[in-house]
Amino acid sequence: MKRLFLLVLLCPIVSFSLEGSGSVDFDSSIVPLLNQNPTLRQFVLCSFDIVSDPVGTRIGDVQSKALGGTRIGPYSMWANWHGATSNQRVVLTVNTQTTFFDKHGKPVNANLSKATRVEERIASVTIEPPEKDQPGIVPGGFKHAVDLSVCSMKPIS
C-alpha cells in the first residue's frame, strides 16, 4: 500500500517534466515565423481568423534541462478560412524545421540533453478539416482577425 501511495504521490511530478503540448501566443510566437516567408505570411494573416491559441510540442525537462518548457512546432490552431464564397472552419498548422544547438553553437542531433538553444524556420502551412464541434469563435474573441484594409492582394505578373 505504501508503494502505491508513493507512486500516486510522485506521478504529478514526473508527468510534469515529460514532453507534451503547450500553447503559445500567436503574435509573439507565430507571426515571427511567418515573417520569414512573406508569401506564407500574407496567406495566413490575410486568409484566416485565428480562433484558438496555437499549440506546439513542449520540450520536457527530462529531454533538456536548459530547454525544458520550450515550445516548438508544428503549431496547430483552430481557424476560420475566408474562402471565395464563405468562411470555413479548419485546423491550420504551421510546420517548422527545428535545429538545436549546444553551448558552443554547434548543432545537436540526437542528444537533446546537450542542447541549450533552439532555432525554428517556417517550412510550410497545412490546412485540415475542422475537429468535431470546433467553435467558430471562443470567449475573448479571435487571436488574430483578417484586416482586409492591410491585405490588398497584388496581381501576379
DSSP string, the chain: -HHHHHHHHHHHHHHHHS-EEEE--IIIIIHHHHTT-HHHHHHHHHHEEE-S--EEEEPPTTT-TTTTT-EEEEEEEEEEEE-SSSEEEEEEEEEEEEEEE-TTS-EE-S-GGG--EEEEEEEEEEEEPPPTT--S--TT--SB---GGG-PPPPP-
Contacts of 8-13 with C-beta under 8 Å, sequence gap 24+, read none
Domain count, the chain: 1
pLDDT of res. 24: 95
Residue 154 lies in a domain: no
Residue 12 lies in a domain: no
Residue 66 lies in a domain: yes
Rounded alpha-carbon distances, angstroms, from residue 87 to 36, 39, 83: 27, 21, 5
> Mind listing the pLDDT tens digit of every residue in the chain (157 residues)?
444 433 334 444 333 444 578 899 999 999 999 999 999 999 999 999 999 999 999 999 999 999 999 999 999 999 999 988 889 999 999 999 999 999 999 999 878 999 999 999 999 999 999 999 999 999 889 999 998 777 865 545 4
Q: What is the domain range of residue 135?
A: 17-148
Residue 156 lies in a domain: no
pLDDT of res. 66: 94
pTM: 0.82
Residue 27 lies in a domain: yes
Residue 21 lies in a domain: yes
